[in-house]
Structure 1
């Protein structure tokens, strides 16, 4: 199995493709963890064109696309938060690519960018029910830092672990 993939920065013209891919991934992956209503709410909140404009062009943040065999297959969005800390805010791959090393490749890519920005730590939040992702992050050297519950509006909360990895 070749782990070749191309990773490139997202452009504003990529927003429709990102929205479609996020919709496909979320609806395949999250129904066992959160309600369809919460999926709809979070997709509308995080993946509309203006939100993506900020994530792609905003200062101290990056949005990268992953192409496998020339097809858009995933993405990562990350930003500087605390001094010395990069937050991996989004890391998504098509479910058919899970467990094949592409997520680890993407984490390595983000770690490199974090080091270039002078960061000492990479942090992320992951749904406590998302054991597949938690296991993947643990395999990539992350540890659970804390448990949080965040009110995101609309009557919904994110019940997450914050995980971190020293760089």
Structure 2
């Protein structure tokens, strides 16, 4: 085999190994990638089925309940527009409170109940995850727009 052919074979082998390594890294990255969705987006069907994702918003006041097994907790996460029931088996974070921001990671289960594998609570008085803050802000904007449209329609019907 000529030195030129040896060099070409070595370069081709190196490129093949580099390609396989890149494929393995991208596959690992994709399997660990978790997207965030608000309860409104989940209700609209934008969330993946059978795949893990994050949901966030505020824990609805009075929604926290302990199940009969003593380990499973259920609570409702809302973005003030839509609500989603979350079931979590385990110990909730110390900072978890009703009326406070929360992000839960898990999968959408039967009956539209989100089964969380991890629950993250806010860590100080002013913090809310950026995605959750945006979802709550968007919901407030939609509510204000709907209210303004309803008022305009009622005034038009009075005239």
TM-score by length of 1: 0.23
- Which structure has the greater CA radius of gyration? 2
TM-score by length of 2: 0.24
> Higher strand share goes to which structure?
1
